[in-house]
Chains A and B, each alone.
Chain A
Amino acid sequence: MKEQIIEIISDLIPDFDYEEGTLLLEDGILDSFDIVNLVLELNEEFGINIGVEDVTEENFNTVEAIQNLIEEKLEG
């Protein structure tokens, strides 16, 4: 799953270079446009429903946090 998330982010940000613990929001890698596109891609790819209430810094600051969010959503 992690690789899929990294691939989606790399499609959005061509020069995205993933390292363990990279801070996506704090380091300004993702802006609000990217977040919108990322959420739409994730919803489509994993068949989940990430809503506006899930778009928080805790859920989107790292690839690992995004993975946790997706897992949570998949568990229902």
Chain B
Amino acid sequence: MSIVSPQFFGFVIVLLFLYYTILKKMSWVLLLIASYAFYAANNPINIIYLVLTTTSVFISGIIIHNLNLEIKNLVGLEKSIKAKRKNEIIRKKKQILVLALIINFGMLSIFKYSAYIYSLFGLISNKFEVFHGTYSESVNVRLLNIMQPLGISFYIFQATGYLIDLYRGKFPAEKNPFKFALFVSYFPQMVQGPIGRWDLLKDQFFRKVKINYDDLRDGILLIIFGFFKKVMISNRIAVIVNAVFSDFRNYSGAFVFLSVIFYGIRIYTDFSGGIDIVRGVSKLFGIDMSINFRRPFFATSIADFWRRWHITLGTWLKDYLFYPINFSSPMHRLNKFGRKHFGAKYGKFLSLSISTFVIYFIVGIWHGAGFKYVAFGIYNGSIITLSLLLEDFYSKIKKKLNIGDGKLYKLFMIVRTNILVCIGRFFTRASGFLIALKMIKHSILNFDLRGINREVFASFSLTQNDYFVLIVSVIILLICDYLAENDFNFSKYLENSSKFLNILVIIILVSFLFVGVFYADGYVKTEFIYRQY
């Protein structure tokens, strides 16, 4: 069931009615049943994996929680005995945690990479292009469909995050397996995240249900905005991107580069649009899900870009991988070694560079199997590490050239960052690593602006109306993002406006939504890109 289909909105409306009326007192049970029904509608067999993650993490969580209590209860013992006993319990905790992580990430790796590994050894021979031609290795359609359960990486990251927090003693374990099951399976997050946190969601799931007008209005606003991004921009611009990436030699270097910019717009509107829709739907139930994007096109560096793009994955990696790596004993020793030999300023970069590369390698392979994703990770990791090392050098040049931190310089940094991001996107969108390199080479060596002309645009299966809608929509999106970047909050503005204006806006938006969902049904057949992850 697509989240931009009339069926999905019908499903949500029925749920909302039950949630706020006859099943108000068992609201979370209703959400749990609805979440499993939503999942079953996609592929009932895949419920097995969802249940496996839920039970393995739930049971491990209870054991770890009990061990945490055992540590707390170690009172009245002699110091050395207490320390020995504590170490034994910590070792047990670690074993349980590692076992649960192996089960879950092992399962995820099998689903994510086995088709690729099979194809490398020629064990699967049917040609099929997944994700509009991005993944051109030979994979078997039926096998792949069975192998990649909906939202598996999102719910595994979410559940294991809960377990690591428990291990760190951040909160007590949930005792009710069904309540925990809702946290893992909550249907809006199933398609493409965001990756939620237990301490932020649990009170919202299990509190007394009460209709909140502001939540309903904000939910509808988010859904409309997400729908607008997906239908008006993403699905249209995809036509150009797919055509150019399937045969880039037919286009000038300038147009190939333009198409990678279009791909940036395409993936942003697709992913953030989908997230807006699910966050909006969740808001209708009074449940606030974490934001996943903060206007990434306004980033002033690659590191800043990653703080604004897929935020919940970034914070997950930071909290559960980046910090543990950096605070581990080997890294601590490496840091000391670096400081001793290269001085305090540069010595610390040694350990930070290694952890940065590990993180971006993971970001790369999280997107898929294949060397192009590894290259994508290395590319981002290298830029971030280099910019750290060259920070002082840049400052000196800036000072020498008398460049201030004014608006023009900020604009330069934004443009520079976007160009670097675009180059990185060649790797994720092209059908292979070598093809990505060839496309970059073609873009540079055959950069002829005359290649961007009316005839080329006319060659795609888009009408003049489509182009008009596309241009106007991108301008609207840019204005909205610019206003949001400058702290304008439409929802707050409405909150402080008259009731009449609020009701009027809601009526207009709901009408748009209904017209949009039904009228544009034929236009939304393409699925969300991040659904495959």
Report which A residues bind B (CB closer than 8 A).
Answer: 31-33, 35-37, 39-40, 51-53, 55-56
A residues within 8 A CB of B355?
36
Q: Which residue of A lies closest to B315 (CB)?
A: A32
Distance of B64 from chain A, by nearest CB (Å): 13
Question: B388–A51 contact, CB under 8 A?
Answer: no
CB contacts under 8 Å to A, within B303-321, are 303, 307, 318-319
Please, what's the 1-or-0 string for B167-193, where 1 marks a CB less than 8 Å from any CB in chain A? Answer: 011100000000000000000000000
Given A31-B303, A31-B307, A32-B318: A52 touches B324 (CB 8 Å cut-off)? yes
Inter-chain contact A33/B323, CB cutoff 8 Å: no
Given contacts A40-B348, A52-B168, 6 further A-B contacts (CB under 8 A): A32-B318, A32-B322, A32-B323, A36-B327, A52-B327, A56-B170
* Number of interface residues, chain B, beta carbon within 8 A: 18
Name the residue of chain B whose CB is nearest to the CB of A15: B405
| Chain A CB within 8 A of B352 CB | yes
Do B327 and A51 have beta carbons less than 8 Å apart? yes
Q: B: which residues have CB within 8 A of A?
A: 168-170, 303, 307, 318-319, 322-324, 326-327, 332, 335, 348, 352, 355, 388
Given A52-B168, A52-B323, residue A37 in contact with residue B348 (CB < 8 A): yes
Question: Per a CB cutoff under 8 Å, which of B303, B307, B323, B352 touches A55?
Answer: B323
Q: Is the CB of B169 within 8 A of A40?
A: no
Contacts A36-B352, A37-B348; is A53 near B168 (CB within 8 Å)? Answer: yes
> Are A33 and B388 within 8 A (Cβ)?
yes
10 A-B pairs with CB atoms under 8 Å apart are A35-B323, A37-B348, A39-B327, A40-B332, A40-B348, A52-B324, A53-B169, A53-B170, A55-B319, A56-B170
Chain A hits for B307, CB < 8 A: 31
Q: How far is the CB of B337 from chain A (nearest CB, A)?
A: 13
A37, B170: Cα distance in complex, Å: 23
- Tell me, in angstroms, the Cα distance from A40 to B322 when the chains sit together: 14
The 8 closest A-B pairs by CB, nearest first: A53-B168, A36-B326, A52-B327, A52-B323, A52-B324, A32-B318, A55-B323, A37-B348
**Closest approach, in angstroms, between the C-beta of A39 and any C-beta of chain B?**
7
Query: Which B residues are in CB contact (< 8 Å) with A33?
Result: 352, 388
- Most chain B Cβ neighbours within 10 Å, of A36, A37, A56: A36
CB-nearest residue of chain B relative to A11? B344
CA–CA, A39 to B307, complex, Å?
Answer: 21
With a cutoff of 8 Å between Cβ atoms, the chain A residues found around residue B348 in the complex are: 36-37, 40
Min distance, Cβ A56 to any Cβ of chain B, angstroms: 8
Contact residues in A for B323 (Cβ distance below 8 Å): 32, 35-36, 52, 55
Q: How far is A3 from B169 in the complex, measured between Cα atoms in Å?
A: 31
Question: How far does the alpha carbon of A51 sit from the alpha carbon of B348 in the complex, in Å?
Answer: 18
Closest CB in chain B relative to A46 CB, distance in Å: 16
Residue of A nearest to B327 (CB): A52
Residue of A nearest to B384 (CB): A33
Closest to B349 in A: A33
A37 to B323, CA, bound (A): 11
Residues of B within 8 A of A37 (CB): 348, 352
Q: Which residue in chain B gives the minimum CB-CB distance to A36?
A: B326
Give B353 Cβ to nearest chain A Cβ, in Å. Answer: 10
A71 to B169, CA, bound (A): 20
B227 to chain A, nearest CB (A): 31
A50 nearest CB neighbor, chain B only: B327
Q: Which residues of A contact B327 (CB under 8 A)?
A: 36, 39, 51-52, 55
CA distance A32 to B169 in the complex (A): 21
Chain B nearest CB, measured from A60 CB (Å): 11
Q: How far apart are the CA atoms of A4 and B303 in the complex, in Å?
A: 29
Residues of A within 8 A of B303 (CB): 31
Closest to B332 in A: A40
**How many Å lie between the Cα of A52 and that of B332 in the bound state?**
12
Task: Tell me the bound Cα distance from A54 to B327 in angstroms.
Answer: 11
Whether the Cβ atoms of A40 and B168 lie closer than 8 Å is: no
Q: A31 contacts which chain B residues (CB < 8 A)? A: 303, 307
B388: chain A residues within 8 A (beta carbon)? 33
Q: Which residues of A contact B326 (CB under 8 A)?
A: 36
Chain B residue numbers with a CB within 8 Å of A36 are: 322-323, 326-327, 348, 352, 355
Residues in chain B near residue A55, CB distance under 8 A: 319, 323, 327
Q: How far is A45 from B332 in the complex, measured between Cα atoms in Å?
A: 15
Docked CA distance A67–B324 (Å): 22
How far does the alpha carbon of A38 sit from the alpha carbon of B468 in the complex, in Å? Answer: 52
Shortest Cβ distance from B41 into chain A, in angstroms? 38
For the complex, what is the distance from the CA of A33 to the CA of B388, rounded to whole Å?
10
Which chain A residues lie closer than 8 Å to B332 at the CB level? Answer: 40
CB distance from B436 to the nearest CB of A (A): 28
CB–CB B170/A40 < 8 A: no
Q: CA of A55 to CA of B326 in the docked complex: distance in angstroms?
A: 12
